[in-house]
Amino acid sequence: MTGPATIFDRPNRYIGQPTPRADAARLLAGRGRFVDDIQLPRMVHAAFHRSPHAHARIVSVDVTAARAASGVLGVWTGAEMAALVTPYVGVLTHMAGLRSAPQHPLAVDVARWQGEPLVMIVARSRAEAEDAAELVEVDYEELPPACDATTALAKDAAVIHADFGSNLAWERKVDVGDIDAAFAQPGVQIVEREFRFGRHTGVTLESRGTVCEFDPSEGCLTMHYSGQAPHMMQVILSRLMSLPEENVRVISNDVGGSFGIKIHTYGDELAAAVAARALGRPVKFVADRMESFLTDIHARDHVVKARMGVTASGTIVGIDMHDLTGIGPFSMYPRTSAIECNQVLNLTGAPYTMQHYRAHGQVVFQNKNLMCQYRAVGHPIAMAVADGLLEDAARVIGMDPVELRRRNLMADDSYPRSSTAGMKLDDLSHQAALKKLCEIMDYDGLRAEQARLREQGIFRGIGFVSMVEVTNPSPMFYGIGGAPIASQDGATVRLDAGGALHVSSSITEQGQGTNGILAQIAAGVFGVDIDRVKVTTGDTGTVPYGGGTWASRGAGIGGEAMLLAAQALKEQVLDVAAVMLQSEPGLLDIRGGAVVDAATGAERMGLADLARTVYYRGNELPSDLKPELIATRHYRVTDFPFVFTNGAMAAHVEVDPETGFVKVLHFWAVEDCGRVINPMLVDEQVRGGVVQGIGGALYEECLYSDDGQLLNATMADYMVPMAAEMPEITVAHIETPTKTSFLGAKGAGEAGTGGAPAAILNAVNDALQPMGATIWQMPMTPERILKVLGKV
Amino acid sequence: MKTKDISVIVNGEEVRASVPVRRNLVDFLRTDAGLTGSHVGCEHGVCGACTVEVNGATVRGCLMLAVQADGATVTTVEGFAASGRSAALAAAFTRRNALQCGFCTPGMLASALGYIDRGGTADRAAIREHISGNYCRCTGYQSIVEAICDVIEERTAP
Amino acid sequence: MKAADFDYLRPSSLAEALTCLSQNVGVAQPLAGGQSLMPMMNFRVATPEVLIDLADIPDLRGVTELDGMLRIGAMTTYRDLTRITDRVPLLGLALPHIAHDAIRNRGTIGGSVALADPAAEMPALLLALGGVIELAGPDGQREVAADDFFQGYYATDRAEDELIVAIRLAVAKPGDSFGFYELTQRHGDYALAGVAIAHAPDLRIAFFGISDRPIRLPELEAALTAGTDPGPALDQIEFEGDLKASAATRRHYARVVLDRALAGMTS
């Protein structure tokens, strides 16, 4: 009998192969099924009047003209909407001390960020809804805003939620060892820097959107939703709209990128659901690009003051840091906005064996758009701080930065163990990854070239990062704190009468290739050709219950559930086959869509024959045989709060000292995401992640005026990375499967975004070194580089 | 709302409609012609998701009014697929995994065809420059560049 | 983000267009390629009540050559301009920097000149080449030198009831040389700073992206012709800052792009 341990060597082997995704054909033919593609009979369209002020009391709202405007079918003010929706508060019990205020879909008394929705208009067309939104008259009394996170806790700062007495949302302190004593030891040199990380945002090419329809005869709401967690949304809609959970169906078909943006509760989307119920007809809301910039969650926005102590022989003794982050006026519901700071505290220095660690994180409210979980939550900050300080320290003690890493990275045979901050770690390969990285990039050759070019006035830099990535979260991540977010995922595998498999899963597809890897796993484990597997995901009405795809958990958790379900169905089918063939299950196998003799591979019965007999001609079977040609299994991570992956990355850049421009010449990433299910998908995930990381390092920033106006809410002004400036990215792998599952897959979705900023920062500082300058603020714009060079 | 009757040849078929004059071409294609392959990404001409072909030249569907296309010949991703014009690109995009979420893909294909059909060479930097008006948030662009290179090399192979 | 409603007019002659315009002064907006106007309308930053589409007007099309001058119809697209880069080599240097292929297929020289975005390439190119703008209005036709046309942020000498009919540029002669350099963080973006240079045979230098309009400084040209330090002349420029670069950074960039353009002059 084939147990899970041998599934990777079976004849229908797809795990580990660069199998193209079946979805690609449809998307390449213009047959995607995105939310905005949905056209329903009697469907109407929503638009919003949004606050033009960062902080203002709403004195009065006059919607008379808007209601009377051409094509308008419904108008809701904040107060009217609040009467229909239970308020929600973005706190979790395990984030001790975190506080936030009740939120309503539309602001009621006070507007707290520019872009906050105040009034919803539903009209026959989006254009008419926008026309009417312009007719809404709001009398605002502007209030002093608290925009700058660094002054939000000052005594004279405007307090955003008066009941709290201050703008502090949450804080946490970590203190391991004795950092003061360690730094005071003779021979310990201290490097100290202040890092600034600009706000940026996800800029999914498909903006947030929903089509909601309500059937009053059954009291059922269906939300077509561009998002990552359908079951979470089902519970939220049920709770906030007082609908039975079973009367809410959430469907995510094709999702045009998400990256954590589409996993939160947005007032405008909730309002669309409410309007659909009130009007009894489908309501579409698709955010336009300006609404996306103003209201899609932002991320980062950290100021970190950090010190690292290092001995002359290259031992890192510890890190002492303070992280301040601004999260906007509320903590986002239901995941909260304290997670990023928490991750920074958990992850800073996690690859290294240092003995001492002290960190203080403070999360503050401010009158800017909400900040929450965007791809690689907290990772770019943690990695840039630790590895930025490390390379700074290397310069101080005159040691090669790779050598300094080698001396401090945890040994590959030292697991399981804990990080200095107390994270449980296992199955990591920092040393091997760094070694492989140096080989594939020809580190010595690049250094020699760098020295040669410097003599010609060409300033190139090489920068590294050694990183961990949090993946496969257990119930300790959200569920323990009371969030309606499943940590387990389910998979169902069904053998149909024609001998094909229909599989479904609670993880979702946003382009990663989720559906592709599910098919690979099911086909390989069960034993059919992959083109005989059809996959359904993203519909709470039809798929098993589970969390969805986020936190790099799809392959590791949803993939394992699929493996278990496919294995279970195989055993069920072989039980049936053994009776029909008068054999023993252990002597049979399924290969190539047929039951075969396990020893010889000789075909005994096609799967279609078996299934048709079961489904159509049950009379031919013994009456005590109860065939089940469907199996469902669920999986969660049990022994660890998270599974960690690791990677080593390097950037090669050239800085033009006259212009401050940075050209990324090449980027290398060595990833250990455990078992690689599909190298082609993983590699491009890593590359896409790296490019987002480069965006954060060099281009992307939500720029606000002092009074809280977002100044660059267009794609012309907010600079996302485009093809011409991006480097070739070489990806390589170390495969250390996690022991938490048979599949052994960890996760790969966020590594690039988490690691690339640190590598770019280090590379730029390496290039700047001969000019005596360093930079510690991202994005490293040309102007900021010119400033540190003293050119402007 | 002011409207105007227009007639546009879309993917070889005449589409007649009375459209609001303010409706842009991509909204016309999506709502009036029912062709939702062309996507709306930014509505200010930066992202390239709405790129289609009008009278043989690639254009931004959000920066042209539907009424401006009266009498014109428009080809969308659905047309490229149906006629086979994008077949080689589609195969290469699949093989190279040059798409993830697929939202940018129709515009990316239109831009790539604009490059290939005008004799663009398999020069990676030139390809990157040509598609630099098409935003992709998912891939690192590299697989897209490789897929376009593949098609050009296949065409020019002896 | 849908445009506000408007009346759409599509005149078929220049005379008809001018009538449309003069009947709707203050509320009408001519539509050329639309590659800048359409985004502004979609954002509802521009909300014309009447949109006058210039697409069907034969008088605004075509390129003719006479007595060493090219007369380029205002509705000539960037794509069509690529056909005359052998006659106007500076165009060949500048065009690849203008946005992206799909934009260049629609965007027109007349539209760019009429808009007068201070960071756009075409206005500076006209200044460097000593171009002439032909205008038509209710009182007939007139022409304005590029030197006198650009008056500030999106401000030109064009009256509201006038249309740009054509642009006249000199055909390059043997021995003329040209330079162009532009700094953008991303290919195709508006310039952080740029410069277009013509040495034909007089030296004419026009910056863009650094101030409220394209900038040409006779003092600078004189200093460079005489081989003296151009610094004092550059200091006369009123540099403007924005989100992407401060005025001080643009001052620095002006010198960088000048030096790089001069170092890369065609021969």
CA distance C54 to chain A (A): 25
Residue A347 has phi, psi (to 5 degrees) of: -105, -20
* Number of helical (H) and strand (E) elements in chain C, helices listed first: 11, 14
Provide the pLDDT confidence category of residue A1 given band limits of 50, 70 and 90: very low
For tokens 């995009």, the residue is B93
Helix (H) or strand (E) holding A28: helix A23-28
pLDDT score of A10: 76
Instruction: Tell which residue, C108, C118, C60, has the closest CA to residue C80.
Output: C108
- Please indicate if any CB of chain C lies within 8 Å of the CB of A659: yes
Cα A308 to Cα A288: distance, rounded to the nearest angstrom: 44
pLDDT score of C267: 82
Q: Which of residues 21-80 of B touch C (CB under 8 A)?
A: 21-22, 24, 27, 43-45, 48, 51, 57-60, 62-65, 67-68
- Please indicate if any CB of chain A lies within 8 Å of the CB of B35: yes
Instruction: Tell which residue, A158, A766, C42, has the closest CA to residue B46.
Output: C42
Cα A432 to Cα A441: distance, rounded to the nearest angstrom: 14
Instruction: Tell which residue, C253, C232, C169, C241, has the closest CA to residue C204.
Output: C169
- Which amino acid is it at A366? Q
The residue of chain A with its CA nearest to that of C40 is A714
What ipTM, to 2 d.p.?
0.98
- Please indicate if any CB of chain A lies within 8 Å of the CB of C153: no
Six-digit token string for A420: 């200095």
Q: Which of residues 124-153 of B touch C (CB under 8 A)?
A: 129-130, 132-134
The pTM assigned to this predicted structure is 0.97
Classified as helix, coil or strand, A397 is helix
Cα A303 to Cα A198: distance, rounded to the nearest angstrom: 9
Provide the pLDDT confidence category of residue B65 given band limits of 50, 70 and 90: very high
Instruction: Tell which residue, A757, A787, A39, has the closest CA to residue A383.
Output: A757
Beta-carbon separation of A725 and C185 below 8 A: yes
- Biggest alpha carbon distance in chain A? 88
Each residue's pLDDT tens digit, B84-133: 999 999 999 999 999 999 999 999 999 999 999 999 999 999 999 999 99
CATH number of A380-471+639-788: 3.30.365.10
Each residue's pLDDT tens digit, A370-420: 999 999 999 999 999 999 999 999 999 999 999 999 999 999 999 999 999
The residue of C42, C44, C51, C100 whose CB has the most chain B CBs within 10 angstroms, and thus the best one to mutate to test that interface, is: C100
CA distance C142 to chain A (A): 36
> Residues, chain A, total?
792
The residue of chain A with its CA nearest to that of C253 is A659
Each residue's pLDDT tens digit, A234-265: 999 999 999 999 999 999 999 999 999 999 99
Beta-carbon separation of A134 and C44 below 8 A: yes
List, in order of start, the domains of chain B with CATH numbers: 3-79 (3.10.20.30), 86-156 (1.10.150.120)
The answer to whether C68 and C91 are in contact (CB under 8 A) is no
Helix (H) or strand (E) holding A644: strand A643-655
Inter-residue long-range contacts of C182-185, CB under 8 Å, 24+ positions, other chains counted: C182/C97, C182/C121, C182/C208, C182/C209, C182/C257, C183/A659, C183/A661, C183/A782, C183/C209, C183/C253, C183/C256, C183/C257, C184/C97, C185/A661, C185/A699, C185/A719, C185/A725, C185/A781, C185/A782, C185/C244
Write the burial class of residue A509 (CB in 10 Å: 0-12 exposed, 13-18 middle, 19+ buried). buried
Half-sphere exposure of A606 (CA within 13 A, CB side): 9
Write the burial class of residue B96 (CB in 10 Å: 0-12 exposed, 13-18 middle, 19+ buried). buried
Each residue's pLDDT tens digit, A585-616: 999 999 999 999 999 999 999 999 999 999 99
- Please provide the DSSP assignment of A730-790 as one string: EEEE-----TTSSS-B---SSHHHHHHHHHHHHHHHHHHGGGT----EES--HHHHHHHTT
B5-28 mean pLDDT = 98
- Biggest alpha carbon distance in chain B? 57
A7-32+488-635 and A35-143+207-255+262-295 agree in CATH topology: no
Residues paired with C199 in a beta bridge: C177, C203
pLDDT score of B158: 73
Instruction: Tell which residue, A415, A519, A513, has the closest CA to residue A12.
Output: A519
Beta-carbon separation of B111 and C34 below 8 A: no
Beta-carbon separation of C245 and A782 below 8 A: yes
Work out the angle at residue A278's Cα, subtended by the Cα atoms of residues A273 and A282, and round it to the nearest 5 degrees.
55
Touching subunits of C (3+ CB pairs, under 8 Å) are A, B
- Please indicate if any CB of chain C lies within 8 Å of the CB of A716: yes
Q: From its phi and psi, is residue C26 left (phi > 0), alpha (psi between -120 and 50) or beta?
A: left
| Spacing of C-alpha A741 from chain mean position | 22
The answer to whether B89 and B82 are in contact (CB under 8 A) is no
Domain range summary for chain A, segments of one domain joined by +: 7-32+488-635, 35-143+207-255+262-295, 380-471+639-788
Classified as helix, coil or strand, A268 is helix
- Please indicate if any CB of chain C lies within 8 Å of the CB of A656: no
Cα C258 to Cα A235: distance, rounded to the nearest angstrom: 61
pLDDT surpasses 70 at A5: no
State which CATH number among 3.40.190.10, 3.40.50.1360, 3.30.365.10, 3.40.980.10 fits the domain covering A7-32+488-635.
3.30.365.10
Cα A370 to Cα C123: distance, rounded to the nearest angstrom: 41
pLDDT surpasses 60 at A2: no
- How distant, in Å, are the alpha carbons of A643, B23, C10, C204 from that of C29? 60, 17, 12, 33
Dihedral sign, Cα of residue A601, residue A605, residue A607, residue A610: negative
Regarding the domain with residue range A35-143+207-255+262-295, which homologous superfamily does it belong to in the CATH classification? Answer: Aldehyde oxidase/xanthine dehydrogenase, a/b hammerhead (3.90.1170.50)
Cα C196 to Cα C184: distance, rounded to the nearest angstrom: 15
Each residue's pLDDT tens digit, A116-155: 999 999 999 999 999 999 999 999 999 999 999 999 999 9
CA distance B79 to chain A (A): 9
Instruction: Tell which residue, C123, C122, C127, C115, has the closest CA to residue C154.
Output: C115
Cα C237 to Cα A486: distance, rounded to the nearest angstrom: 62
C125-135 mean pLDDT = 98
Q: From its phi and psi, is residue A552 left (phi > 0), alpha (psi between -120 and 50) or beta?
A: left
User: What integer best gives the mean pLDDT of chain A?
Assistant: 96
